[in-house]
Chains A and B, each alone.
Chain A
Amino acid sequence: MTMENKKNKGFIEDAEYGLDSRYKSNKEYKSEATSLMEARLNRMKNLSKNQIIRAKLMQLKLKMEEYIKQPIYDDRNHFSDFLKLYVDTIYSKRNRFAYDINIKPIRLSQVINNHREPKDEFIMKLMIHSEKVYENICDFHKKTWYQVYFHEKICDTMSSQEKWRPELEKDIKFSELIE
């Protein structure tokens, strides 16, 4: 091994220790960002429909995992939003998904548009469908849809206590209090 090779080998062994990748100036950043974007746009033209779908489904999985990790109190309908993304990423027509999981299109539409709660059977079918779809894309835990659904329920219930608590508290009695 020559001195030059030894020197390079040393560098490679330490390549993951102390990597400084910061731009030294705004001019440097702008110049490199422009070249990179041009090259990327050219590469993106060659992405197949299948590769795009895979990226979108990976994104959906990551978003669902992020969501169930922390309490989020907002007005969004997360389960139905995720479901909409899932169906619209894979199918050109939502009716095709309804057909594939053997439910009426109107039922799917009602769940997606928050006019009806999904039944257990619906979520179970969704779970089975997702397992197969994600099989060759990435790890997708079968619990995920259920976790999203119940996480949203818990967050909604906890954040709306002022609405339901006063009335329900009147109904609660303590005939055998523990001291």
Chain B
Amino acid sequence: MTIIETSSRVEHQIEITPIEDVDYKVLTKSRYFFDWKVEQAYEVYKLQIVGSSEILGLISLERIPDEWRVHIRLLTASMENKGKDKKYDKIAGNLIAFSSKIAVSEYAEYACVSLRPKSQIAEHYIDKYNMISTGMTLSIEVPEILNLINLYDHGK
């Protein structure tokens, strides 16, 4: 999995790993938007360039086995990776693809990743990630979820 440095278009190999207790010290609300400490009861993962300790993106997830679903609770790129002046591209996409891999690994053909963004930004997720809208919830399922994984999970 890779992200792209927007200024040079250079690709960087990334890794997505579980957050460690020591990481919470650097996860400030000003840089990562949320108070991530409140998510400690859930699965929280960080995205980093391989060999770098800088956290570029975060996601917290909830597995809902009864519904064959992984629900994205919180998702963010770091402050310097927001908007049109972002340093790296594809951070959120990689985190959503990572969630999709968990869902497919757990639930195969029943796999589903869901999120419920504010209505103003729902269109972004529908257009960019091919998500489907059901009421307030957006989801990605088979077969689109497999395409999303393939789009991001290559070149290891």
Cβ of B12 under 8 Å from chain A = no
Which of these binds chain B: A44-52, A73-81, A111-119, A164-172? A44-52
Q: Beyond A36-B114, A139-B154, is A21–B109 a contact (Cβ under 8 Å)?
A: no
Among the stretches B2-10, B18-26, B70-78, the one at the interface with A is: B70-78
CB <8 Å contact, B142 and A17: no
**In the docked arrangement, what's the CA distance between A18 and B149, Å?**
22
What total of chain A residues lie within 8 Å of the partner, measured CB to CB? 38
A63 beta carbon closer than 8 Å to chain B = yes
A19 to B110, CA, bound (A): 25
Q: Is B105 an interface residue (CB 8 A)?
A: yes
A55–B109 Cα distance when bound, in Å, is 5
- Interface residues in A13-45 (C-beta closer than 8 Å to B): 13-23, 32-33, 35-37, 39-40, 43-44
Total B residues in contact with A, Cβ cutoff 8 Å: 53
A62 contacts the other chain (CB 8 A): yes
Q: Is the CB of A16 within 8 A of B153?
A: no
CB under 8 Å from chain A, chain B span 86-143: 91-92, 101, 104-105, 107-112, 114-118, 120-121, 123-125, 132, 134-137, 139, 141-143
State whether the Cβ of A3 lies closer than 8 Å to any Cβ in chain B. no
Residue in chain B with minimal CB distance to A31: B135
Question: Is residue B27 within 8 Å, beta carbon to beta carbon, of the partner chain?
Answer: no
- Which of A11, A18, A54, A62 is within 8 Å of B33, CB to CB? A18
| Chain B proximity of A20: nearest CB distance (Å) | 6
State the CA gap A17–B67 with chains docked (Å): 27
Helix, strand, loop or mixed for chain A's interface? helix
- A56 CB-CB contact with B under 8 Å: yes
- The answer to whether A36 touches B135, judged by C-beta atoms less than 8 angstroms apart, is yes
Contact B124 A56 (CB under 8 A): no
Q: Which of A21, A22, A56, A139 has the most CB of B within 10 A?
A: A21
Q: Cβ of A8 < 8 Å from any Cβ of B?
A: yes
The reply to whether A19 and B156 contact each other, CB–CB distance below 8 Å, is no
Q: Which residues of B contact A32 (CB under 8 A)?
A: 116, 134-137
B27-44 interface mask toward A, CB cutoff 8 Å, 1 = contact, 0 = none?
000000110000000000
Q: Complex Cα distance A15/B142, Å?
A: 24
Flag whether A176 is at the interface (Cβ < 8 A): no
Nearest 9 CB-CB pairings of A with B: A16-B92, A18-B33, A17-B82, A55-B109, A15-B124, A62-B105, A15-B121, A59-B108, A21-B115
Residues of B at the A interface (CB closer than 8 Å) are 33-34, 64, 67, 69, 71-77, 79, 81-84, 91-92, 101, 104-105, 107-112, 114-118, 120-121, 123-125, 132, 134-137, 139, 141-143, 146, 149-150, 153-154, 156
